[in-house]
């Protein structure tokens, strides 16, 4: 998994319209479709794709998608 793979999987959780706006520096909590449900969908999607689990702390402590990726790959 690299940052591009991760960003692509992350974006796949959103509608096509929102996904087009997502890149590595996106501040994901500012996305229009972001809510607690979307957080669960992302944890599940990343876990299934890469067998790595984003934690509640990872999501709360990260601002951008790159931040999330870096926390995840430090596991």
Partner 1 sequence: MPIFNIPNVKISGIASSVPVKVMDNNDYNFGTESEKQLFIKTVGIRYRRIAEKGTTASDLCIAAANKLMEQIGWERSEIKILIFISQTPDYQIPFTASIIQDKLSLTKDCMAFDINLGCSGYVYGLSIAASLLNSLSAGKALLLVGDCSSHCISTNDKSVTPLFSDAGSATALEKKEGETMSFNLQTDGNEFDDIIIQDGGMKSPFSSDSLLYKEIEPGINRAAINMSLDGLKIFNFALREIPGNVNNLLAHSIIDVAEIETAFFHQANLLMNESIRKKLKINADKVPYSLYEFGNTSSASIPITICNKLHNKETKPKTVLLCGFGVGLSWGSAIADLSSAKILPIIEV
Q: What residues line the site for partner 1 (CB under 8 A)?
A: 33, 35-41, 43-44, 47-48, 53, 55-56, 59
Residue 4 or residue 49: which is nearer to partner 1 going by CB?
Answer: 49
Smallest separation, CB 66 to partner 1 (Å) = 20
Distance CA 63, CA 55 (A): 14
CB of 68 closer than 8 Å to CB of 59: yes
Q: What's the min distance (Å) between Cβ of 25 and partner 1? A: 23
Please give the torsion angle defined by the CA atoms of residues 26, 19, 57 and 51, in that order, rounded to the nearest 10 degrees. -130
Cβ 56 to partner 1 shortest distance, Å? 4
């Amino acid at each position: 998994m690299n940052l591009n793979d991760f960003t692509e999987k992350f974006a796949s959780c959103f509608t096509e319209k929102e996904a087009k706006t997502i890149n590595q520096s996106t501040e994901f909590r500012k996305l229009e479709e972001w809510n607690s449900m979307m957080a669960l969908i992302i944890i599940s999607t990343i876990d299934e794709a890469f067998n790595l689990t984003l934690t509640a702390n990872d999501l709360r402590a990260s601002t951008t998608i790159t931040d999330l990726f870096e926390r995840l790959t430090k596991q």
